[in-house]
Amino acid sequence: MSKIIEVSQLNFSYPVDEGMAPAHALHDVSLEIEEGEFVAILGHNGCGKSTLAKHFNGILKADSGRVTVLGLDASDEKNITEIRRNVGMVFQNPDNQLIATVVDEDVAFALENLGVPYDEMVKRVDEALEMVDMTRYRHHAPHRLSGGQKQRIAIAGILAMAPKCIVLDEPTAMLDPKGRREVMKTITRLNRERGITVILITHYMDEAVQADRVVVMGEGEVILDGTPKEVFQNVGLLHSLSLDVPQTAELMFALRQEDIKVPIAVLTEEDCIAELEKLLGGVTHDQN
């Protein structure tokens, strides 16, 4: 596998008013994303997740350190279009990222910017809408759609560029449970079936456990990085970062604190039930 994004020793602070100490939003962050991976980024509010994400496609420029996307240096203005075409980004609020007043025109926006010829554009808009299962809404006005549908249109607008990687910054935070499920289904399908690299910033643990890899951030630094199983073993550390862990892991953690021997990271409900059955010696089967 080749690396799609390489971040090394990245430092960044937002400009502040004169006389104030610069607030370090990112401090010595190093991270590598492999092509085809599904990475979740966790961290409490204001720890720098969005700031990091905006470095992945050159929306923000590093103060020091290097960001390389597909081997291209993100600090070089010449590479920016190529980088943005390959690393698309979806934001939290769907209302603030839809530009046109008709769905298909919005999906075409990036293609217009890239100067894609008309016939090719029509084809790619159709494909993108198909991929997010929104073809029948192509002539609708975005502001009449549900949150989940709007977010899928935003994803389609990115997919139209045929990117290798999509970065989603809390795409489900403003959605109801149904909208969340729709969007998560779309994201996982794009990753599994199309091999698109997905970087998902989220506050929801049930979304993070669906990833291949979880990166935990705190105060502008990467604190944990590993598979969901590895990361969610550190229940105490995660709690100290004011983060939740999946409820199943929470239960196992509580049992272990009572000196009951169970594995540490159990992430799915089925596994959890299996563990509990083992523990109770099959009692649950006798109940009815």
Residues that bind another protein (CB under 8 A): 54, 57, 59, 81, 84-85, 88-89, 91, 93, 95-102, 104-105, 108-118, 121-122, 125, 142-143, 154, 157-158, 161
Among ligand ATP, Mg ion, another protein, none, the one that 48 touches (CB under a kind-dependent 5 to 8 A) is ligand ATP
Least distance from another protein to the Cβ atom of residue 144, Å: 9
Least distance from another protein to the Cβ atom of residue 158, Å: 7
Q: What Cα–Cα distance (Å) separates residue 162 from each residue in 107, 229, 267?
A: 12, 32, 33
Structure tokens at 163: 């990117």
Structure tokens at 154: 């935003």
Residue with smaller CB distance to ligand ATP, 59 or 276: 59
Q: Which residue has the tokens 């059955």?
A: 277
Nearest residue to 249 (alpha-carbon basis) of 217, 281, 223, 214: 214
Least distance from another protein to the Cβ atom of residue 93, Å: 6
State the burial class of residue 271 (Cβ atoms within 10 Å of its Cβ: 0-12, 13-18, 19+). Answer: middle
Query: Is 50 a residue that touches Mg ion (CB under 5 A)?
Result: yes
Instruction: Give me the phi and psi of 84, to 5 degrees please.
Output: -65, -30
Give the pairing type, strands 64-69 and 72-73.
Answer: antiparallel
Among another protein, Mg ion, ligand ATP, none, the one that 93 touches (CB under a kind-dependent 5 to 8 A) is another protein
Among Mg ion, ligand ATP, another protein, none, the one that 168 touches (CB under a kind-dependent 5 to 8 A) is none
Least distance from Mg ion to the Cβ atom of residue 70, Å: 24
Instruction: Give me the phi and psi of 258, to 5 degrees please.
Output: -90, 15
Among ligand ATP, Mg ion, another protein, none, the one that 156 touches (CB under a kind-dependent 5 to 8 A) is none
Query: Is 51 a residue that touches Mg ion (CB under 5 A)?
Result: no
Contact 267, 228 (CB under 8 A): yes
The amino acid present at 82, given as its one-letter code, is E
Which residues bind to ligand ATP, rule: CB under 6 A? Answer: 14, 23, 25, 43, 45-51
Residues of the shown chain interacting with Mg ion in the complex, contacts defined by CB under 5 A: 50
